[in-house]
Amino acid sequence: MTTATLPVHTKKDFQTDQEIRWCPGCGDYAILSAVQSVFADLGIPREKFVIVSGIGCSSRFPYYMNTFGFHTIHGRAPAIATGLKLARPDLEVWVATGDGDSLSIGGNHTIHMLRRNVGLKVLLFNNRIYGLTKGQYSPTSEIGKRTKSTPYGTADRPFNPISLAIGAEATFVARSVDVFQQHLKDTLKKAAAHKGSAYVEILQNCNIFNDGAWDTVTERDARSEHVVQLEHGKPLIFGKNRDKGIRANGLELEIVPLGNGVTEKDLLVHDEHHPRPSYAFMLAHMEHRPGFPTPIGVLRSWGEIPRYEDLITAQIEEVQAKRGKGDLEKLLRAGDTWEVRP
Partner 1 sequence: MVTSTINVPPRKREIIEKAVIRFCGDSGDGMQVTGSQFSNTVALYGNDLATFPDFPAEIRAPAGTLPGVSGFQVHFSSSDVYTPGDSVDVLVTMNPAALKMNLPDLKTNGILIVNLDNFEETDLRKAQMSSNPLEDHSLDAYRLFSVPLAKLTRAALKDLGLDAKSMDRCKNFFALGMCYWLYNRSMDSTLLWIDEKFQKIPQLVQANRLAMQAGYSYCEATEAFQISYEIPPAKLVPGVYRNISGNAALALGFVAASRQAGLPLFLGSYPITPASDILHELSAYKDFGVITFQAEDEIAAITSAIGAAYAGAIGITTTSGPGMSLKTEALGLAVAVELPLVVCDIQRGGPSTGLPTKTEQADLLQALFARNSEAPVPVLAPATPGDCFWIALEAVRIAIKHMVPVIVLSDGYLANGAEPWRIPSVSDLPAIPVHFETNPVNFQPYRRDPETLARPWAIPGTPGLEHRIGGIEKQDVTGNVNYEPLNHEHMVRLRAEKVERVARDIPDVVPAGDPSGDLLIVAWGSTHGPITAALKSQRAKGRRIGHVHLRHLNPFPRNLGEVIGRYDRVLVPEMNMGQLVMLLRAKYLVDARPYNKIQGKPFKTSEIESKIEEMFD
Indicate whether 332 belongs to the interface with partner 1 (CB under 8 A): yes
Indicate whether 4 belongs to the interface with partner 1 (CB under 8 A): no
Q: What is the number of other CB atoms lying within 10 angstroms of the CB of residue 251?
A: 7
Q: What is the number of other CB atoms lying within 10 angstroms of the CB of residue 270?
A: 24
CB 318 to partner 1: min, Å: 8
User: What pairs with residue 235 in β-bridges?
Assistant: 269
| Alpha-carbon gap, residue 300 to 271, rounded angstroms | 8
Phi, psi for 149 (deg, rounded to 5): -95, -5
| Alpha-carbon gap, residue 107 to 113, rounded angstroms | 10
Q: Are the C-beta atoms of 180 and 174 separated by less than 8 Å? A: no
Q: Pairing mode, if any, of strands 92-98 and 120-126? A: parallel
- Closer CB to partner 1, 59 or 126, in the complex: 59
User: What pairs with residue 175 in β-bridges?
Assistant: 201, 297
Instruction: Find the part of the chain contacting partner 1 (CB under 8 A) among 161-169, 214-222, 285-293, 310-318.
Output: 310-318
Indicate whether 193 belongs to the interface with partner 1 (CB under 8 A): no
Question: Under rule CB under 8 A, which residues in 99-138 are in contact with partner 1?
Answer: 108-109, 112
Pick from 73, 248, 253, 256: which binds partner 1 (CB under 8 A)?
Answer: 73
Indicate whether 331 belongs to the interface with partner 1 (CB under 8 A): yes
Question: Under rule CB under 8 A, which residues in 51-70 are in contact with partner 1?
Answer: 52, 62-63, 66-70
Residues in the chain: 342
DSSP 212-238: TTTHHHHSHHHHHHHEEE--TTSB-EE
Pick from 88, 240, 242, 289: which binds partner 1 (CB under 8 A)?
Answer: 88
DSSP 246-313: EEEETTEEEEEESBTTB-GGGSPBP-TT-S-HHHHHHHHHGGGSTTPPEEEEEEEE-TTSPPHHHHHH
Instruction: Find the part of the chain contacting partner 1 (CB under 8 A) among 40-48, 133-141, 255-263, 269-277.
Output: 40-48
Instruction: Find the part of the chain contacting partner 1 (CB under 8 A) among 84-92, 142-150, 230-238, 246-254.
Output: 84-92
- Closer CB to partner 1, 4 or 251, in the complex: 4
Indicate whether 316 belongs to the interface with partner 1 (CB under 8 A): yes
| Alpha-carbon gap, residue 112 to 318, rounded angstroms | 25
Q: Are the C-beta atoms of 228 and 294 separated by less than 8 Å? A: yes
- Closer CB to partner 1, 220 or 341, in the complex: 341
Sign, CA dihedral 215-218-221-225, equals: positive
Instruction: Find the part of the chain contacting partner 1 (CB under 8 A) among 75-83, 139-147, 239-247, 298-306.
Output: 75-83
String of contacts with partner 1 for each residue 257-276, x by CB under 8 A? --------------------
Pick from 36, 82, 197, 301: which binds partner 1 (CB under 8 A)?
Answer: 82
List contacts with partner 1 (CB under 8 A).
16, 18, 45-48, 50, 52, 62-63, 66-73, 76, 79-88, 90-91, 108-109, 112, 312, 315-316, 319-320, 323-326, 328-329, 331-342
